[in-house]
Structure 1
Amino acid sequence: MESKHILYIVSNVSKAIAFEWIADELSKKGFKISFLILGKSEETGFADYLKVSGIPYKSFSLGGKLSWPSLIYKLYNTIKTFSPDVVHTHLVEASLLGLLAAKLAGVRYRISTRHHSTFHHQYHPRAVLYDKIINRLSTKIIAISPNVKRVLLEREKVDPSKVEMIPHGFDLEEFANVPNDRVELLRKKYHISEDAFVVGSIGRYFSLKGIQYLIKAFIKFKKEVPNAHLCLFNAHGPYKKELHELLKELNQDEYTEVAFENDLFAIYQLFDVYVHVPIDPEIEAFGQTYVESLASSRASIFTLSGIAHEFVIDGYNALVVPYQNADAIYQALNRLHKDNELKSRLTSNAAASVKDYNLQKFINRLEALYLQSDED
């Protein structure tokens, strides 16, 4: 049987370990994989990976809305040239422009993965129209969590037969087995003391991520634990000014901000405690960092949002705190600093809690979905 050709269209992706996993694993299963990348820069780490791996790809400059008709035409021509069996899009611009171009090019099987839940409904209501157009253009929509599925079915009234729930998958061993020399390399790179009690977070600077509550809690915690050090990774975004105002209460050597670090797996191993506290139960569509932190066996403090509702249990594999509550985060930090037995219990239960989010299970579900196009 001839290899099925899956053409991925993605937007605003610079470094994407998940897409690298997908490309590697599906290629092993005999699929032909190619990518169209839309972004502000045509030279990215992900494009470099594709080039080295010999995976066909083409990059396109993604500009403002006035440039979209021209870009749709370019995508249409490229899709006709690539002649895929399936087009699978990720993220809003790639889905909106890519699905339309694919439909015009006569691609019958068009899949979009929905990476956000209530974000547009709460913060950008006009963009809900884009979501509804994407829903119409898709022949299948992948919901990455029950939360996303509810939004699609209840808020956006998508035909249930269109929606397929496939949670993200992870190479869990990569998080569990990080050589110590890589961790120490990061410690030296970012000047983090060997005896520091490191409180960490990985998340872009959006108010919805709740980092402001973590910073307030840490300021109070630091007064009682002098060797505490705050690490904020992926530290960029539209809420930067407000967070920097809060950080002024700390000395510059008491916290570390890193906009981008390539070794995601080693980052988690730097932390004595990991904190992820989004501001409400629905704002996270998935929340990959919940899985990553527990796969890394970190003692974690969470609010429950996105996929966390499915496996995080307070006092068993993490400490769960109320939304938008700096004092509760402070108290949880104190508990984990003082109670080694509690910390040990959480970390010993952590990795097993997320074993179902393994990469092979995810790839098998994708494979089954792609092969459905033979039956339709």
Structure 2
Amino acid sequence: MKALHVFTIINTPKSFFDGQFRYLAEKGHSIHVVSDSPEDLDFSRENDITYHQIPIARKISPFRDLSSIARLVALINKEKFDIVVGHTPKGAMVAMIAAKLAGVKSRIYYRHGLIYTTAIGAMRWLLKTVEQCTAALATNIINVSPSLSKLAVKDRLNSPEKQRVIGAGTCGGIDTENIFNPALINTAEKS
């Protein structure tokens, strides 16, 4: 299986998927990662992934988003991915649009949270509408918690049948010994 995971920044897969991509590669899967950040060579090497840098604006930016989508469609058509997985609201939005345009049959939205819940007025409506469109383009949705699944159904973002939670709910586990150990994080990184 050849999978493309799309993130806005490289810190998300480094924090939540470190080791998982290596495990999948060891099982014979080809894992590609896209983000706006420069490649982290150690992360790519340690996880046996192929990295592609494509600019993806984190803020609302229609013209940049169209450019990101076009570049993703070109990459998807070139590499012939079996699965496209979109992470974070903006990464998922551009990934689901590009994958649909490129004809990818398996489009997974890995929902890490809902940013519209803290917005108000027209911005809340816009962010919720984008969330609904992203969910509609996805063939499957993975939510990181049962409460997120309940909220998605309550707010009519998608049907309950379309979404799943892994285990009791997690993005990929938390490494409290090596990554999130306060004793190992320097003061500059904490700030």
Normalising by structure 1, we get a TM-score of 0.43
Which deviations, in whole Å up to 9, do the C-alpha atoms of 1:252-308 show, x marking residues without a partner?
xxxxxx32xxxxxxxxxxxxxxxxxxxxxxxxxxxxxxxxxxxxxxxxxxxxxxxxx
Match of 2:131 in 1: 131
1:6-25 deviations in Å (ceiling 9; x for gaps): 21111123362322222112
22, 25, 48: which is aligned to 1:24?
22
Identity %: 22
Q: Which residue of 2 aligns with 1:43?
A: 38
Unaligned runs of 5+ in 1: 191-232, 235-257, 260-376
Which residue of the other structure, out of 94, 97, 102, is the alignment partner of 1:100?
A: 97
* Offset from partner CA, 1:108-161 (integer Å, 9 cap, x none): 0100111114x4133241211110111100000111111110111111251222
Per the alignment, in what secondary structure is the counterpart of residue 147 of structure 2? helix
- 1:273-352 to 2 correspondences below 5 Å: none
Whole-angstrom CA distance in 1 between matches of 2:93 and 2:127: 11
Specify the code of the residue in structure 2 equivalent to 1:22. Q
Aligned amino acid, residue 100 of structure 2: K
CA distance in 2, matches of 1:28, 1:52: 12
Residue 175 (structure 1) aligned with residue 160 (structure 2): no
C-alpha RMSD of matched pairs (Å) = 2.7
Query: What code does the residue aligned with 1:43 have?
Result: P
Q: 1:18 to 1:88 in 2, by over 3 A?
A: same
| CA distance 1:177–1:157, shift in 2 (3 Å) | closer
DSSP 3-state at the match of 1:170? coil
Matched with 1:293 is: none
Give the TM-score of the pair, scaled to structure 2. 0.81
Q: Paired residue for 1:121, among 110, 117, 128?
A: 117
Residue equivalent to 1:83: 80
Q: Which has the higher contact order (CA 8 A, sep 6+)?
A: 2
Asked if the contact 1:14/1:44 (under 8 Å) is kept, the reply is: no
Question: Larger Rg: 1 or 2?
Answer: 1
Q: Which residue of 2 aligns with 1:55?
A: 49
Runs of 4+ with >3 A deviation: 51-54
- Matched letter for residue 144 of structure 1: V
Task: Work out the CA distance in 2 between the residues paired with 1:140 and 1:81.
Answer: 23
User: Could you tell me how far 1:54 is from its partner in structure 2?
Assistant: 4.3
Residue 29 (structure 1) shift: 2.4
List alignment gaps of at least 5 residues for structure 2.
Answer: none
Contact 1:36 1:59 in 2 (8 A): yes
- Which residue identity does 2:156 align to in structure 1? E
Q: 2:66 aligns with which of 65, 69, 88?
A: 69
